[in-house]
Amino acid sequence: MKCLECNNKLTHAEHTKSMENYGVELCNRHRLRIDQLVLTKSTPKEAIQLYYALKEAGIAAMLEWWDGKKSVDLAINRVKLNIEIDTNYNTITHEQAILDLEEAMHSFKSGFTTIRIPHVVVKYYLKDTVKNIQGIVEGLKVNIKVIT
């Protein structure tokens, strides 16, 4: 039981608390940092789980990255990939859907790719989600090489 952020050994209480809250192993200091993020940005739990799963797979992402207009749940800046976790996927309204599409258009125009992942996919298929993101990152890398 080690903190995924600092590698410090976790106490039983620390482990229980961070697993209960986020399903990832964090020491108190680093859990409080995530608490703060969730409080100020309403970061979905699944974004945090995905962030650490990506980190484990060697992909450096950023949580709540500010793209100049809005905060993106997860961003992999090296390949200009933004990842949004949809928490209300089942109840998406047509207004939200057109806003999402517009947002995707704006990010494409500035060279970013945005993918939206329903939170249940992260919850039930975390490994597959990471594998697919790895594939997307590889694909984007190849495209960037072609352009530059």
Nearer to Zn ion, 27 or 137 (CB): 27
Whole-angstrom distance, CA of residue 11 vs CA of residue 49 = 20
Contact status: 3 vs Zn ion (CB under 5 A): yes
Which of 5, 35, 67, 100 touches Zn ion (CB under 5 A)? 5
SS3 94: helix
Region near Zn ion per CB under 5 A, out of 5-13, 59-67, 94-102, 138-146: 5-13
Sign of the alpha-carbon dihedral angle for 25, 31, 49, 63: negative
Q: What residues contact residue 9 under an 8 Å CB cut-off, 6+ apart?
A: 1, 2, 3
- Residue 68: CB atoms within 10 Å: 5
Nearer to Zn ion, 30 or 119 (CB): 30
Number of residues that bind Zn ion (CB under 5 A): 5
Region near Zn ion per CB under 5 A, out of 4-12, 16-24, 57-65, 95-103: 4-12
Build a one-symbol-per-residue string for 22-61: x at contacts with Zn ion by CB under 5 A, - elsewhere: -----x--x-------------------------------
Sheet holding 113-118, edge to edge: 62-66, 71-76, 81-86, 113-118
List of residues contacting Zn ion (CB under 5 A): 3, 5-6, 27, 30
